[in-house]
């Protein structure tokens, strides 16, 4: 078992990083009654951990017995019948799914599947919790229509079904949905908090940490707790006992992007652009999301640039990322950004050095 899973806190009491949120959630649940919830925050900040712990708090250990099923849905959409296949994780008390997997048909998922699930109200012999919990991931990736469908569904079936929505950026969730939920902001843990978690894991695993080692991992993790724990485990596999100055290996794709940045800085020519294209394709083929490539590339370039160019480069990065979102082929826009950068940089070089 990976450490990330092994040391994921299972109950709200054991959560250490977002204690205040956990305390509030506990209070919510203790009143037998819980509004719809929207968790938002950067990745690796602990949204999922909080949600799982919350569900456990609501329903007890029974909620941990989950099964993964691939369910086929037949949806009657007027003239034709659609067939959708969706993965979902379910226990007797909750269902977890990722509606944006259905692509452009996500509207039907939200309209039909959620309705159907919400209608089937669980009967409890003790007559207490008469509702099911539905966890929807990545709601920010849902299409606008799907989000619109969500709003009325949430009100209509609020008696038998509670929704827990989870997303990275709440800007992409429509106001109508946001105003119907209790919004919970989950901030990324600070570096000190990450260090504490790493030291805790180190103690449990009986490892001796050299001074400053945990701090270095935390610094490199970008305030992403999951990544920090993974780094920590990688280091453990590479070499133990830890050397005081042991290097924390960077992610290979990050290294690759910084190579690309170096290439671009060295030479600005069509030939170099062509070779960069190959490298970008390589990254895309390995399923690195294009906007993450662009952001990393930008931050690498910003590190090497003069301050007067930074504004301009930053502007174009934002411009091309927006274009990329509207278009369908990310490679064009990545390449366009590289070409734009080359032209700006070359002009700057000519102007300043002749």
* CA pair distance 349, 331, nearest whole angstrom: 27
How near is the Cβ of 149 to another protein at its closest, in Å? Answer: 5
Sign of CA dihedral 141, 146, 151, 157: negative
Q: Which is nearer to another protein, 121 or 236 (CB)?
A: 121
Q: Which is nearer to another protein, 51 or 186 (CB)?
A: 186
Q: Which is nearer to another protein, 148 or 226 (CB)?
A: 148
Q: Which is nearer to another protein, 115 or 226 (CB)?
A: 115
Instruction: Give the contacts of 96 (CB within 8 A, at least 6 positions apart).
Output: 66, 88, 89, 90, 134, 135, 137
List phi, psi (to 5°) of 243: -85, 155
Q: Which is nearer to another protein, 101 or 140 (CB)?
A: 140
How near is the Cβ of 105 to another protein at its closest, in Å? Answer: 13
* CA pair distance 20, 73, nearest whole angstrom: 40
How near is the Cβ of 153 to another protein at its closest, in Å? Answer: 5
Helix (H) or strand (E) holding 40: strand 37-40
How far CA 212 is from CA of 42, 150, 219, 247, in Å, comes to 26, 48, 11, 12
Tokens 């895309």 belong to which residue?
284
Q: Which is nearer to another protein, 29 or 89 (CB)?
A: 29
* CA pair distance 26, 13, nearest whole angstrom: 9
* CA pair distance 238, 231, nearest whole angstrom: 11
How near is the Cβ of 98 to another protein at its closest, in Å? Answer: 17
Q: Which is nearer to another protein, 146 or 235 (CB)?
A: 146
How near is the Cβ of 6 to another protein at its closest, in Å? Answer: 25
How near is the Cβ of 307 to another protein at its closest, in Å? Answer: 5
Lookup: tokens for 300:
């690498």
**What is the tally of helices (H) and strands (E) in the chain?**
15, 7
Helix (H, G, I), strand (E, B), or coil: what is residue 36? coil
How near is the Cβ of 49 to another protein at its closest, in Å? Answer: 15
Q: Which is nearer to another protein, 321 or 335 (CB)?
A: 321
How near is the Cβ of 121 to another protein at its closest, in Å? Answer: 6
How near is the Cβ of 160 to another protein at its closest, in Å? Answer: 8
* CA pair distance 235, 173, nearest whole angstrom: 38
Q: Which is nearer to another protein, 51 or 110 (CB)?
A: 110
* CA pair distance 196, 190, nearest whole angstrom: 10
Instruction: Give the contacts of 75 (CB within 8 A, at least 6 positions apart).
Output: 81, 82, 83, 84, 108, 112
């Amino acid at each position: 078992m990976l450490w990330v899973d092994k040391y994921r806190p299972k109950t709200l009491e054991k959560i250490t990083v977002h204690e205040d949120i956990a305390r509030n959630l506990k209070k919510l649940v203790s009143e037998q009654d819980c509004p719809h919830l929207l968790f938002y925050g950067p990745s690796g900040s602990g949204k999922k951990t909080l949600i799982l712990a919350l569900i456990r708090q609501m329903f007890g250990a029974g909620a941990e017995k989950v099964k993964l099923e691939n369910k086929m849905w037949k949806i009657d959409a007027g003239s034709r019948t659609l067939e959708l296949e969706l993965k979902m994780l379910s226990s007797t008390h909750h269902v977890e799914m990722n509606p944006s997997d259905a692509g452009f048909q996500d509207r039907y998922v939200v309209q039909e599947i959620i309705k159907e699930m919400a209608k089937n109200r669980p009967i409890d012999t003790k007559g207490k919790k008469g509702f099911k919990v539905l966890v929807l991931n990545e709601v920010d990736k849902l299409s606008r229509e799907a989000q619109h469908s969500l709003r009325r569904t949430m009100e209509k079936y609020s008696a038998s079904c509670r929704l827990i929505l989870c997303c990275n950026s709440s800007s992409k969730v429509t106001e109508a949905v946001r105003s119907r939920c209790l919004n919970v902001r989950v901030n990324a843990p600070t570096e000190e908090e990450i260090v504490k978690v790493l030291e805790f894991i180190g103690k449990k695993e009986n490892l001796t940490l050299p001074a400053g080692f945990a701090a270095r991992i935390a610094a490199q993790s970008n305030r992403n707790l999951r990544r920090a724990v993974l780094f920590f485990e990688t280091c453990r596999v590479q070499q133990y006992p830890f050397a005081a100055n042991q290097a924390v290996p960077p992610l290979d794709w990050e290294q690759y992007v910084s190579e690309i940045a170096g290439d671009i800085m060295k030479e600005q020519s069509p030939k170099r652009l062509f070779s960069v294209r190959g490298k970008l394709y390589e990254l895309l083929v390995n399923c690195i999301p294009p906007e993450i490539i662009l952001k990393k590339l930008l931050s690498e370039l910003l590190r090497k640039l003069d301050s007067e160019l930074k504004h301009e480069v930053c502007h174009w990065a934002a411009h091309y990322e927006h274009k990329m979102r509207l278009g369908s082929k990310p490679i064009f826009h990545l390449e366009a950004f590289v070409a734009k950068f080359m032209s700006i940089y070359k002009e700057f070089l000519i102007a300043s050095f002749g």
